[in-house]
Amino acid sequence: MTVESTAARSDARRSGTGGMRATQAATGRAAGNGTAEAPEAATAAGTPGKAAAKTSRKPAAESTGGTGGTKGAGKTTRKAPAKSAAKAAAKAPAKGRAPAKAPAKASAKARGSAKARTRAPGDGPGQPEPELVQLLTPEGERVTHPDYDVDLSAEEIQGLYRDMVLTRRFDAEATALQRQGELGLWASLLGQEAAQIGSGRALRPDDYVFPTYREHGVAWCRDVDPTMLLGMFRGVNNGGWDPNTNNFHLYTIVIGSQVLHATGYAMGVAKDGADSAVIAYFGDGASSQGDVAEAFTFSAVYNAPVVFFCQNNQWAISEPTERQSRVPIYQRAQGFGFPGVRVDGNDVLACLAVTKAAVERARAGEGPMLIEAFTYRMGAHTTSDDPTRYRSDEERTEWEAKDPIQRLRVYLESAGLADDAFFAGVEEESEAMGRHVREAIRTMPDPDTMAIFENAYADGHALVDEERAQFASYLASFADSDSQEGR
């Protein structure tokens, strides 16, 4: 598979209104379109320098259906009939771009001409960032947002940094252990630390979490022993922790099913009259599953107190996001009758602020909400995957410049919120965690091999007894073989 996508989205499919304005539009309150001009959106999203914005205009100009252009052109074409708008889009000058609300014919022509582009805006080198909630730019500059913000102490921000560093170190050790044959498989979260730590720290202890198989940072926030996560991937337990102890459900391997589980649990929470919230994590690829659509339907109809947290890391294994959705994922919520918002998934402060607002909204009885954390999977889908076969090194290099941990460190240093002693202490703690994880996995006891036959039936069963005896005989054959070789 080549890196070039034959179904690259137009700018119009990646633009839209974020923040509470989208919330208000979906719930019937006053809202504006809020679609930003392309250069303004790039600046608001923290794209470094004007040069990047200028570079991004050329590919957009080649497509006749992008978002933005001059304000005058936008006003003229919005009111034109479908045929006139289509002709206007086809004859648009090189520097102009059609508005986000172009009619169907114009959009079809835009899709055709967009095939020459490699990725959609915000997905590839030199492209402007999509509109999203951001409180910390890639350069580590603190900015504000009119609808979402947090007021944290220096210690709290230091805590977020520590969480991300330790989570990354644990993830790195797990990947290395898999390469050494200690784990059967591992799904890395590299690059997604801010989305997980920010959202995880926004939750109360009585909130309930339904993860996929990659939420190692959320598990950390819920005080789940990291070595418990390794047990499942080593094949010595079925999860290893009691979900009700930390209100953190077992990892779910089946794609998207946990979103239905979360919705049903949230419906039960509402019937119990509790004021807690439920959050379900899933990826951009899982958004194509029918289970997710069914969960959206039920949650909306029953006004369930659930937050859907989609970590859009750009790739569903080797399939890019544009092959999962014709519109930005967060905009899907509008079709189901609840709000959606896109947040910078590499900005831990923004992820914290948006998730906190969403769960508080759910607790207040205002129903579900969809959060799309726009981030990037820096590593492989799992350790059985080779991402070099389907994506470019340039793409990863661009996203490395938006590293969530480095971004927060720059802010801590520039704002004088942490000194060298703090960073050295976190690094030392990180090394200690690495040693602990290595020792724990190598000394983890194997389970009782015959335990698989226990508790299949309450009163036992003749067929199970027969299978147990056959398996015991099979295992004994290995012991007999070893003893003969020893002689």
- The residues annotated with a catalytic role in the active site are 377, 381, 390
User: 81: Cβ–Cβ under 8 A, 6 or more apart, which residues?
Assistant: 103
Element (H, E) at 210: strand 208-210
**Helices (DSSP H) in 47-153: which residue ranges?**
49-62, 71-78, 82-90, 104-113
For strands 319-320 and 340-344, give the pairing: unpaired
Q: Nearest to residue 234, comparing CAs of 167, 180, 164, 288?
A: 180
Rounded Cα distance between 43 and 52, Å, is: 10
Element (H, E) at 293: helix 290-301
Hey, what are 242's tokens? 């009691």
Rounded Cα distance between 168 and 430, Å, is: 9
Count CA atoms closer than 13 A to 400's CA, side-chain side.
7
Q: What is the DSSP letter of 136?
A: B
Q: Nearest to residue 321, comparing CAs of 124, 132, 62?
A: 124
Rounded Cα distance between 57 and 66, Å, is: 10
